[in-house]
Structure 1
């Protein structure tokens, strides 16, 4: 049995171009008790590989978190397979706002300790005692209430390019970093304010809402389906869109345009821009915001040093990287001192 990828990203990209078929980018999650995540992982890989599904899927004892791309012609087969798994029957699927056939180029199904790295000990509180889920219409009403505190549960590089108006956007690198900071900052409002949270697709709020209720917050709400589902409902029901800018996504697209506002700036020149890129120097790979002009001037790199390395013959670049671990800058997400206009 083949339980791993046999094609490189470049080979898969060529096959997608050759096929010329429409693909759908989809995400979903489900908290559930999974006795043997490895067995489920293997089952999913075998079934989805046959359907030409690509993506990044995490399976743990606590559930599943999936971001994937499926050929449109195979969607019904894929959905039927999901429904055949008891705890995934009729699971909500978040369909991407902007489609890209190359959003994912490999199928990676991994067993993890958690489906989101939250740093919490789930045995210390009731993870099923979640906040009130609200749709786009009620969410819009709630965030206009003066007794509401709206909190973005995403990381700084996500909220930098897009967020709801008047939202608290913690300056954090990871989800786990935000949990205690938000509790401390809002400690005096545990009883008198409505705590309303949102994230990309809802999964981070699912755990955070239960955690904050455990910590004594009396009125906890979360945006059902996150920004992705909110946008779908706003367009379907012709509601006012209160989201500004882009929604950061964790695939090759890196962002979906939700509104026309550009609220971020190029990290190199400071002009309005909200396009995330990775430094072309593979020894760096820093995620940062870069405009077209700076991309051309810097050869898609974050610094002069990286530009010089990227200009070397590829074999020389490989020689320089040999024996060295991945650059820590990969995890800095725009924090590097080489970026003059970083947030």
Structure 2
């Protein structure tokens, strides 16, 4: 049985372009109690590999989190396979607003301890005891209520390029960082305020809603389907759009534009810009915001140091990287000291 990829990303991209078939970029998640994640992982890989599914899928004892692409012609077969798995029957699928046939180039199905890392070790916490899901229309009404506190459950580099109006946007690097910060900031309002949360597709605020209920918050809500499905509902139902800027996504596209507002700035020159890039120096690979002018000037790098390294022959670059771990700047997502205009 083939339980791993046999093609490189470059080879796969060439095959996709040669085939000329439209692909759909989809995300979904489901919290559930899974007895043997490894068995489920292998089952999914075998079935989805046959359907030419590509993407990043995490399976854990607490459920599944999937971001993937599938050929449009295989979508019905893919949906039928999902429905054949009891806890995934009729699971909500978030179909991307902006499609890109190259959004994913490998099929990676991995077993993890948790589908959303939270740093929690409280065995009395039940992640399936979630808050109230609300539609886009209900969400719009809720966030106009003066007794509502709206919280963005994403990280700083996501909310920097786009967020809902009047939302609290914690300046955090990870989801686990935000849990205690938000609880501490709102501890005086566990009973008198409506706590409304949102994230990209719903997975983080669903866990957060269960966590804050566990911590004693009485009125906990989450935007069902996250920003992705909110945007679709706004378009389909002609609702007022209360999201400004771009929605950060975790594939090769990096973002989807929701409104024309540009609320961020180039991290190198300070001009209005909301385009995330990765530093061209593979030893750095820092995620940061860079405008076209700075990209040309800096050769797609975050600093002069990286620009000089990236100008070296490839073999010399490999020698410099040999024996060294990945730079921790990779995980700082725009926090590097070389960036003059970072958030």
Do both share a fold (TM > 0.5)? yes
1:19-66 deviation line (CA, Å, top 9, x unaligned):
111110000001111111111111111111111100000001111000
Matched residue, 2:92: 92
Trace 1:2-21 onto structure 2 (pairs within 5 A). Answer: 2-21=2-21
Structure 1 residue 121: Cα displacement: 2.7
Matched residue, 2:112: 112
1:153-211 deviation line (CA, Å, top 9, x unaligned):
00000000000000000000000000000001111111111100000000111111111
Equivalences, count = 343
* SS, match of residue 217 in structure 2: coil
Matched residue, 1:43: 43
Matched residue, 1:32: 32
Matched residue, 1:130: 130
CA contact (8 A) 2:285 2:330 kept: yes
TM-score, normalising length: structure 2: 0.99
Matched residue, 1:212: 212
Matched residue, 2:321: 321
TM-score, normalising length: structure 1: 0.99
* SS, match of residue 245 in structure 1: strand
1:254-310 deviation line (CA, Å, top 9, x unaligned):
000011101000000111111100000000000000011111110100000000000
Alignment RMSD, CA only?
0.8
2 CA distance for matches of 1:19 and 1:175?
A: 38
* SS, match of residue 236 in structure 1: helix
Pick which of 65-74 and 185-194 moved more.
Answer: 185-194
Matched residue, 1:221: 221
2 CA distance for matches of 1:181 and 1:134?
A: 24
Unaligned runs of 5+ in 1: none
Matched residue, 2:330: 330
Trace 1:222-241 onto structure 2 (pairs within 5 A). Answer: 222-241=222-241
2 CA distance for matches of 1:88 and 1:128?
A: 14
Matched residue, 1:166: 166
1:237-260 deviation line (CA, Å, top 9, x unaligned):
000000000000011000000111
Unaligned runs of 5+ in 2: none
1 CA distance for matches of 2:334 and 2:266?
A: 11
CA contact (8 A) 2:161 2:274 kept: yes
Matched residue, 2:306: 306
Structure 1 residue 122: Cα displacement: 4.8
2 CA distance for matches of 1:308 and 1:179?
A: 40
2 CA distance for matches of 1:248 and 1:214?
A: 29
CA contact (8 A) 2:31 2:128 kept: no
The 4+ residue runs of structure 1 with deviation greater than 3 A are none
Do structure 1's residue 283 and structure 2's residue 283 form an aligned pair? yes
